[in-house]
Amino acid sequence: MDWTEVKITVDAKNADLASAIANMTVPWGIYIEDYSHLNQEVEAVAHVDLIDDKLMKKDRSKAVIHVYVSPKDNPAEAVSFLTERYAAAGIRNTIKTDICRQEDWINNWKKYFHPLKVGEKLLICPDWEQAKDSEGRIVLDLEPGIAFGTGKHETTRLCLEMLEKSVKPGCTMLDVGCGSGILSIAGLLLGAKSAVGVDIDPLAVKTAGQNAVRNHVADRFTGICGSLTDKVEGKFEFVMANIVADAVIELSKHLEQHLTPDAVCIFSGIIEERERDVRSALAGKFRILSRRAEKGWVALSATLQESSR
């Protein structure tokens, strides 16, 4: 089955905002080629001669965003949407499309995904590699497939860093927009009693379930295919929502009924330009506990205000 690859080239300085817009066109992940920080990264590497010459010759003024459109969807519609949104945002771009077999693009980005240390406690390890030395970290084995969430993207990493400091042993957890299940599984490995993962994409829910099996936490994980909390029942002590600003705003309208009085919520997937909108939506119901930001992305932790408990 052939998919359509959409390649969007933008100035490197606009990569984060352009990527956020691109991610609106598909329910799964995208991948980004951005070599603008290569000089600084090379300087930090002891053996510079080990850096691939082809990599050093990459254009560092540009970023290329790769989006993959399902055969069930309309590539022309995605390109039209991107063209309109980039024009509105003032982002110069060129967009090209190509045909790519599903198995090709699923494997294409694997060469960029290696064991990754996150925060102080976690080591994210792709299923096709072995963690040679975990250094005492908790190893999370992951096969993301086409679901979003490897730990490499800033939004997921921010969530994981905040999660490991906030999740309490024995707590009940809700993961809205679970993608690969990485956040649910991390929470369970860090001591959560149970986790419910929700995603609008049935393939993401399936992938999350398979990753739960991979990490021996399947008996404590429940996957639900649905929109936000529409199909969720019960109350939770810890909530993760790594989605987009508009979805966080919508979620905030109905989330209260699923929270215990002292529940902690982490909202992520928010670009800095939309942080004020999200804070306005949370105001009156939630009190912000902390904020973390990286490369234009923001994550907020919050709890119910006394008046809402």
CATH number of 242's domain: 3.40.50.150
- Residue 261: count of CB within 10 angstroms of its CB: 11
263 in the same domain as 157 = yes
- Burial code (b: 16+ CB inside 10 Å, e: under 16) for 239-254 equals bbbbbbbebbbbbbee
For 165, residues 6+ apart whose C-beta sits below 8 A from its C-beta are 119
Q: How far is CA 134 from CA 110, 120, 139, 192, in A?
A: 20, 12, 7, 21
Residue range 9-28: mean pLDDT, rounded: 85
3-class SS at 196? strand
271 in the same domain as 173 = yes
User: Is the Cβ–Cβ distance between 236 and 173 less than 8 Å?
Assistant: yes
167 in the same domain as 74 = no
pLDDT tens readout for residues 91-143? 999 999 887 655 555 555 555 567 788 888 998 887 766 766 678 898 998 87
pLDDT tens readout for residues 115-126? 788 888 998 887
In terms of residue numbers, what domain contains 263? 148-308
Q: Domain for residue 233, yes or no?
A: yes
Residue range 267-274: mean pLDDT, rounded: 89
CA 6 centroid distance within chain: 20
User: Is the Cβ–Cβ distance between 159 and 152 less than 8 Å?
Assistant: no
Q: Domain for residue 142, yes or no?
A: no
- Whether 53 has a pLDDT exceeding 50, the answer reads no
Q: What is the pTM of this model?
A: 0.67
- Whether 263 has a pLDDT exceeding 90, the answer reads yes
- In which residue are the tokens 């982002």 written? 91
106 in the same domain as 161 = no
CATH number at residue 50: 3.30.70
User: Is the Cβ–Cβ distance between 15 and 36 less than 8 Å?
Assistant: yes
Q: Domain for residue 133, yes or no?
A: no
- Whether 40 has a pLDDT exceeding 60, the answer reads no
187 in the same domain as 95 = no
82 in the same domain as 25 = yes
259 in the same domain as 164 = yes
3-class SS at 42? helix
Residue range 171-180: mean pLDDT, rounded: 94
Of 151-165, 214-228, 275-289, which gets the smallest average pLDDT?
A: 151-165
pLDDT band at 268 (very low <50, low <70, confident <90, very high): very high
217 in the same domain as 304 = yes
DSSP annotation of 137: P
176 in the same domain as 101 = no
Amino acid occupying residue 84: E
Residue range 164-171: mean pLDDT, rounded: 95
d(C-alpha 64, C-alpha 290), whole Å: 33
- Whether 57 has a pLDDT exceeding 60, the answer reads no
273 in the same domain as 155 = yes
Q: Domain for residue 127, yes or no?
A: no
pLDDT band at 279 (very low <50, low <70, confident <90, very high): very high
In this prediction, residue 249 carries a pLDDT of: 93
- Whether 80 has a pLDDT exceeding 80, the answer reads no
Q: Domain for residue 129, yes or no?
A: no
In this prediction, residue 276 carries a pLDDT of: 94
161 in the same domain as 19 = no
10, β-bridge pairs: 63, 93
Structural domains of the chain, count = 2
Residue range 268-277: mean pLDDT, rounded: 89
